[in-house]
């Protein structure tokens, strides 16, 4: 069955370190998204991609970067982790820009000390 | 003003009752509207989507959309304890918004047995 996976599921790191969160989907979806979820804020869009070599900034992109070298993967990099980036991170994918349903990965809990 | 507003709750209803969840949005160009359910510690999963004004029913769930009032709601009939979760309203902003999906902060629902 097609799926979307994230790794690691839990991560503890120190401020200033570079961290990369992996997202891999086997739906063959063009669109992939990264969100963070914090209490009281719901899901906030960090970066998104509508295809290979395409990346776009979301509403909370400062301190994060992504690259899309193939259809299946959209890794999220925290260039220099900050305590404010402690959060739960969700990756999602959808079939097309107009296609509405997003399928979410299981999430990564990140703690920055 | 947030782009998608929801009452954070918690909303508590007895088993068998109708739960009514509400959402308002600010962008009149929004085209697609979604309700996701998120159990504690889990990722969001789609319950329903609606594009046109009026009601859309799927089993115990009914989504209602009023574009003139910029209002979308979710009714859950015959509520069950297993419906206890956080319900996220999401709005796709269409072409003028780069097809980005904006999520509300969610409403926590408790169904008492």
Would the CB atoms of A101 and B46 count as touching at under 8 Å?
yes
Average pLDDT over residues A87-109: 87
Residues from A in contact with B at Cβ < 8 Å? 33, 35, 40-45, 48, 56, 58, 90, 97-98, 100-102, 104-107
Q: Which of B6, B47, B99, B108 to mutate to test the interface with A (most CBs of A within 10 A)?
A: B99
Token readout for A39 is 């209490």
d(CA A32, CA A46): 11
Chain A CA closest to residue B9: A40
Would the CB atoms of B98 and A45 count as touching at under 8 Å?
no
d(CA B97, CA B101): 9
Look over chain B and give the mean of its residue pLDDT values, rounded to a whole number: 93
* Alpha carbon A6 to chain centroid, angstroms: 9
Asked if the model's pLDDT at residue A97 lies above 70, the reply is no
Confidence of residue B76 (pLDDT cuts 50, 70, 90): very high
Look over chain A and give the mean of its residue pLDDT values, rounded to a whole number: 93
Asked if the model's pLDDT at residue B97 lies above 80, the reply is no
Asked if the model's pLDDT at residue A23 lies above 70, the reply is yes
Asked if the model's pLDDT at residue B98 lies above 80, the reply is no
Tell me how far CA of residue A9 lies from CA of A31, A82, A93, A109, A111, in angstroms.
22, 19, 18, 6, 11
The DSSP string of B59-92 is: TTEEEEEETTTTEEEEEESS--GGG-EEEEEEEE
Q: What is the pLDDT of residue A98?
A: 61
pLDDT tens-digit readout, A41-67: 889 999 999 999 999 999 899 999 999
Asked if the model's pLDDT at residue B101 lies above 60, the reply is yes
Token readout for B3 is 């782009």
d(CA A93, CA A50): 10
């Amino acid at each position: 069955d097609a799926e979307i996976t994230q790794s690691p599921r839990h991560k503890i790191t120190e401020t200033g370190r570079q961290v990369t969160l992996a997202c891999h989907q086997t739906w063959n979806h063009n669109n992939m998204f990264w969100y963070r979820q914090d209490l009281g804020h719901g899901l906030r869009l960090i970066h998104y991609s509508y295809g290979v070599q395409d990346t776009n900034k979301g509403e909370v992109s400062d301190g994060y970067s992504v690259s899309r070298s193939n259809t299946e993967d959209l890794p999220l990099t925290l260039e220099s982790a900050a305590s404010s980036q402690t959060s739960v991170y969700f990756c999602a994918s959808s079939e097309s820009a107009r296609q509405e349903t997003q399928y979410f990965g299981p999430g990564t809990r990140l703690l920055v000390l | 003003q947030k782009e998608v507003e929801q009452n954070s709750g918690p909303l508590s209803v007895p088993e068998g009752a109708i739960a009514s969840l509400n959402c308002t949005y600010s962008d009149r160009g929004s085209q697609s509207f979604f309700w996701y359910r998120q159990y504690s510690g889990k990722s969001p999963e789609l319950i329903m989507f609606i594009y046109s004004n009026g009601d859309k029913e799927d089993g115990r769930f009914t989504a209602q959309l009023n574009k003139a009032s910029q209002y979308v709601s979710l009714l859950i009939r015959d509520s069950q304890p297993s419906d206890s979760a956080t319900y996220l309203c999401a709005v796709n902003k269409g072409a003028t918004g780069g097809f980005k999906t904006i999520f509300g902060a969610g409403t926590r629902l408790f169904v008492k047995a």
